Amino acid sequence: MQRPVSSLPLSQAVRLKLGSAGFQLTSDLQDFKPDKLSKETGLSEEEAVEVLKAVKGGGGGGSGDFSASLTALELLQKEEELRSIVTFSSQLDESLGGGIPVGKITEVCGVPGIGKTQLCLQLAVDVQVPQCFGGVEGQVMFIDTEGSFLLQRVTDIAAAAVRHCSLLAEDDEQRAATETFTVETVLSNIFLVRCHDHVELLAELHLLPDFLSQHPKIRLLVIDSVAFPFRLLFDELSQRTRLLNGVGQQLITMAINYNISVVITNQMTTRIRDGQSHIVPALGECWGHAPTIRLLLQWEGSRRLATIFKSPCHMETMVQYQITPEGFRDADQSEMPQSKQPRMDTDQSAADPKETSS
């Protein structure tokens, strides 16, 4: 299967050199070795290696084949085969048509403490629910950029999910599945990487396709959060936008090529428009095109609300949820007393005149 060289996740300069040397399709590059490609194109050998890696991972053949030439019917059948990852909030799952979709990017935005990380931890467990319980039975790669992956919390959420499934088990198949769906196996199926800045994150994303090829059971990639590592680039907007565009491209390619659900969290930021301050997702409007689905978690008084505010196939819906000791769940009807209501102080975050992440 072939793909235009111009669509590979390479820098503009490298793509230009390939184009001027006459390389238009990935199939033109398949039989090349780095030294020969370097001679023919004027690229350095390191750049040639990058090009060949991109061809291998993104459409030149093999398991990472880009599905550019699939028909719409084949794509539909492929989508129907992929199950969504349940959130353990039945209302949110229903609004999302079954849960967080595999093969797409879902962004979770919200103010600090609203439950973005809790949802990610819940999904890291839920993606492992055995197929006989309607789950995806996959593994997860969790990229933690904020240090918010708390082992005790994951263990609690895993224990609750394991308990939930064993209570639901009705037939022999389900009873057998609960033998292997244990807290230990859940924890052993979460691959955790800690990235401290955007350079480490970019390096990790660069290595990820190889890791995904070696671990074909991975169905979920979490990046919690994508905004935090880029905070130091707030003054270099064009560089940040360029890097983020590359990240968006890489994530889309990985979601499609490896049939994984990509879930990223994003912080909120204050924007001044028409003399009024608004709380909007960070990283700018351009970044907003990368996720297929954007979920906004927000407070309304003491209630936690999840709104699907961008999706090509769902209505804009709002559901109520809660964070319990067991994890992310549907809200119960009893409201917290007014005194316990958390407050969102938008003025507090106005320290940076341009854009302030909160």
Ligand X SMILES: Nc1ncnc2c1ncn2[C@@H]1O[C@H](COP(=O)(O)OP(=O)(O)OP(=O)(O)O)[C@@H](O)[C@H]1O
The residues of the shown chain that bind ligand X, judged by CB under 6 A, are: 110, 112-118, 146, 148, 153, 267, 323-325
> Least CB distance from residue 306 to ligand X, whole Å?
12
Based on CB atoms, which residue is closest to ligand X, 112 or 216?
A: 112
Pick from 210, 125, 128: nearest CA to 159: 125
Residue 267 contacts residue 109 (beta carbons within 8 Å): yes
Using a 10 angstrom Cβ sphere, with 0-12 exposed, 13-18 middle and 19 or more buried, the burial of residue 76 is: exposed
Minimum separation from the CB atom of position 303 to ligand X (A): 13
For ligand X, the closer of residues 42 and 113 by Cβ is: 113
Select from 244, 257, 242 the least CA-distant residue to 210: 257
Note whether 262 and 21 are within 8 A (CB).
Answer: no
Residues contacting residue 89 through CB under 8 Å, at least 6 positions apart: 306, 319, 321, 328, 329, 330
We find the least distance from the C-beta atom of residue 298 to ligand X, in angstroms, to be 10
- Residue closer to ligand X, measured from CB, 25 or 192: 192
Return the H-helix or E-strand segment holding 94. Answer: helix 90-95
Smaller CB separation from ligand X, 9 or 110: 110
The candidate with the shortest Cα–Cα distance to 38, out of 3, 56, 14, is: 14
Q: Least distance in Å: CB of 119 to ligand X?
A: 7
- Cβ distance to ligand X smaller for residue 41 or 267: 267
Place of tokens 């990509």: 262
CB of 48 to ligand X, least distance (A): 41
Query: How many Cβ atoms sit within 10 Å of the Cβ of residue 151?
Result: 10
Residues in the chain: 358
Planar angle of CA 13, 19, 21, nearest 5 degrees: 105
Q: Which of 44/348 has CB closer to ligand X?
A: 348
Shortest gap between Cβ of 105 and ligand X (angstroms)?
18
Distance of closest approach, residue 151 Cβ to ligand X, in angstroms: 13
Question: What value, to the nearest 5°, has the Cα angle with vertex 280 and ends 284 and 149?
Answer: 85
CA distance 217 to 1: 23
Provide the minimum distance between the beta carbon of 283 and ligand X in the complex, in angstroms, as a whole number: 14
User: Other CB atoms closer than 10 Å to residue 246's CB: what's the count?
Assistant: 16
d(CA 355, CA 269): 6
* Residue 16 structure tokens: 């230009």
Minimum CB distance to ligand X, residue 192 (Å): 16
- Residue 158 burial (CB count, 10 A): 26
